[in-house]
């Protein structure tokens, strides 16, 4: 967080320096323009005065400075000075002698003393040397520039205050949520992967970050749960057939037996080994969905196509199974049916759920409906089978758990946990509702491409 503060303060300093530099540049540019423009106006009047001096004798008592079509400037004053080679004044008309040392005796010059601006030049007439000059006050400089200076100073103060206030608001509205996310992330560990960052309805970058992080947590939690399930179930589920194999072999070898007895023992061993192989393959399949498929190879797929492929797979497994699919609620926009995922994994998940619906129904029929909302696609899979006892529903996603009323049906209790792992890897939701002896409904919801 200190690093963020340093970055924020550095940005504030940069903005303040830029604002000050900009204000100084504006003031300097306008002031320089005011000086240059006013000197041009003085030069014009000085040239007119020189032209009049060359045409008339300034020593004449009737000599008077006159301008045609040019207005006088504020406190304008004309002067003419005759001087010799040693810069001694021979004649003075209007010059304050205190300024004599400031005048350029060789060429034209523009300068400013106090609030007055001067334009002077050296002229020769009849072998005599003259300095003709014009002075005036720059009203724009004395009034408008002063106003501009005050205005820019006030704007600078307000600008610095604005930058500071906005920066502090950014710190409060942006850096504080980031700090909150950091604090929430620090609370999450392997023992509480169920925790999630707070999400809001807005579409801000931070909210997208929280959503992305939560999806990553869901994948990590799935992997951790898979690992824990693999360890706990491997020790329990694999122990039973192994014990049966070892016990049968020890019993067969405990004494001499007939060929029929050995054949019976070998048959029991083969049955247990076959059971062990199926459980091991199912367990490894469940583990692979949590580790090998982390979303890196996911691409856009259509859910309606996945369901049709699962339909064919289920019918190929058991020709007695029937699937009635309802596509009447399909949206006109096909993009609302596309999700980011793996078609093979999704087909595996739907095949397991649909085959369960068929297996536990007396008519071996599963009813599948597909629809779409604004940002999600929904799949409903329903059966009219034996249903799930209410007390068993909290455990149906535990690997190898089988409901208490499924004793007459074959299975290993791996289908629903496997399907849930796959659906959660696709940022989906799976909900199961059931009524005993009436049937079960599975609701699956995936975010569409447009929601990312």
On whether the CB atoms of residues 184 and 198 are closer than 8 A, the answer is yes
Spell out the domain ranges in the chain: 2-142, 297-452
pLDDT over 80 at 226, yes or no: no
For residue 345, CA distances in Å to 22, 280, 290, 291, 422 come to: 61, 19, 11, 13, 6
Alpha-carbon torsion angle 331, 335, 337, 341, nearest 10 = 180
Task: Tell me the pLDDT tens digit for each residue of 88-137.
Answer: 888 888 888 888 888 888 888 888 887 788 989 998 888 888 898 898 88
pLDDT over 80 at 291, yes or no: no
Confidence band for 69, pLDDT divided at 50, 70 and 90: low
Distant-in-sequence, close-in-space partners of 26: CB < 8 Å, separation ≥ 6: 152
Confidence band for 371, pLDDT divided at 50, 70 and 90: very high
Give percent helix, percent strand, percent coil of the chain, each to the nearest 5. Answer: 55, 20, 25
Chosen CATH of 297-452 out of 3.20.20.70, 3.40.50.300, 1.10.3720.10, 3.30.565.10 = 3.30.565.10
What pLDDT does residue 252 have? 81
Query: What is the pLDDT of the chain when averaged over all its residues?
Result: 81
What pLDDT does residue 5 have? 65
Average of pLDDT values for 7-29? 80
Name which of 19-28, 202-211, 258-267 the model is least confident about: 202-211
What pLDDT does residue 443 have? 96
Nearest CA among 285, 294, 195, 283 for reference residue 232: 283
Residue of 34 and 116 predicted with greater confidence: 116
What is the percentage of the chain residues whose pLDDT exceeds 90? 18
Nearest CA among 365, 367, 361 for reference residue 307: 367
Confidence band for 368, pLDDT divided at 50, 70 and 90: very high
Q: Which residues pair with 366 in a beta bridge?
A: 323, 383
Confidence band for 257, pLDDT divided at 50, 70 and 90: confident
Task: Tell me the pLDDT tens digit for each residue of 372-426.
Answer: 988 899 999 999 999 999 999 988 987 778 888 888 887 767 778 878 888 888 8
pLDDT over 80 at 142, yes or no: no
Average of pLDDT values for 281-309? 72
- Give the integer Cα–Cα distance in Å for 14 and 21: 10
pLDDT over 60 at 295, yes or no: no
């Amino acid at each position: 967080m200190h690093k963020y503060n340093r970055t924020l303060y550095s940005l504030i300093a940069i903005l303040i320096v830029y604002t000050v530099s900009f204000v100084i540049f504006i003031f300097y540019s306008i002031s320089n323009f005011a000086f240059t423009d006013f000197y041009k106006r003085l030069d014009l009047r000085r040239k007119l005065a020189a032209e009049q001096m060359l045409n008339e004798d300034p020593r004449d008592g009737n000599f008077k400075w006159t301008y045609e079509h040019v207005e006088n400037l504020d406190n304008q004053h004309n002067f003419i000075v005759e001087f010799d080679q040693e810069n001694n004044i021979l004649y003075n008309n209007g010059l304050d002698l205190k300024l004599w040392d400031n005048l350029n005796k060789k060429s034209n010059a523009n300068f400013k003393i106090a609030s007055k601006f001067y334009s002077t030049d050296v002229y020769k007439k009849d072998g005599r040397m003259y300095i003709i000059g014009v002075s005036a006050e720059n009203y724009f400089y004395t009034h408008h520039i002063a106003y501009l200076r005050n205005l820019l100073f006030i704007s600078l103060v307000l600008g610095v205050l604005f930058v500071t206030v906005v920066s502090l608001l950014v710190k409060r509205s942006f850096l504080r949520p980031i700090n909150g996310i950091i604090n929430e992330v620090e609370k999450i560990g392997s023992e509480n992967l169920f925790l999630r960052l707070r999400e809001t309805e807005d579409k801000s970058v931070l909210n997208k970050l929280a959503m992305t992080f939560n999806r990553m947590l869901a994948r990590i939690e799935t992997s951790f749960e898979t690992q824990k399930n693999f360890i706990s179930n491997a020790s329990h589920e694999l122990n039973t057939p192994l014990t049966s194999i070892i016990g049968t072999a020890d019993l067969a070898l405990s004494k001499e037996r007939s060929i029929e007895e050995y054949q019976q023992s070998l048959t029991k061993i083969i049955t247990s080994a076959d059971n062990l192989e199926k459980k091991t393959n199912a367990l490894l399949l469940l583990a692979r969905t949590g580790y090998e498929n982390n979303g890196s190879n996911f691409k856009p797929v259509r859910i309606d196509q996945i369901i049709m492929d699962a339909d064919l797979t289920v019918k190929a497994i058991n020709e007695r199974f029937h699937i009635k699919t309802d596509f009447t609620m399909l949206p006109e926009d096909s993009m609302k049916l596309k999700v980011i995922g793996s078609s093979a994994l999704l087909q595996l998940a739907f095949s397991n759920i649909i085959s369960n619906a068929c297996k536990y129904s007396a008519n071996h029929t599963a009813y599948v409906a597909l629809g779409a909302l604004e940002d999600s696609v929904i799949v409903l899979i329903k059966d009219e089978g034996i249903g799930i006892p209410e007390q068993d529903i909290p455990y149906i996603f535990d690997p190898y758990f089988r409901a208490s009323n499924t004793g007459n049906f074959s299975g290993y209790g791996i289908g629903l946990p496997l399907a849930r792992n796959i659906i959660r890897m696709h940022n989906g939701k799976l909900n199961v509702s059931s009524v005993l002896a009436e049937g079960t409904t599975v609701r699956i919801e995936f975010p569409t491409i447009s929601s990312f």
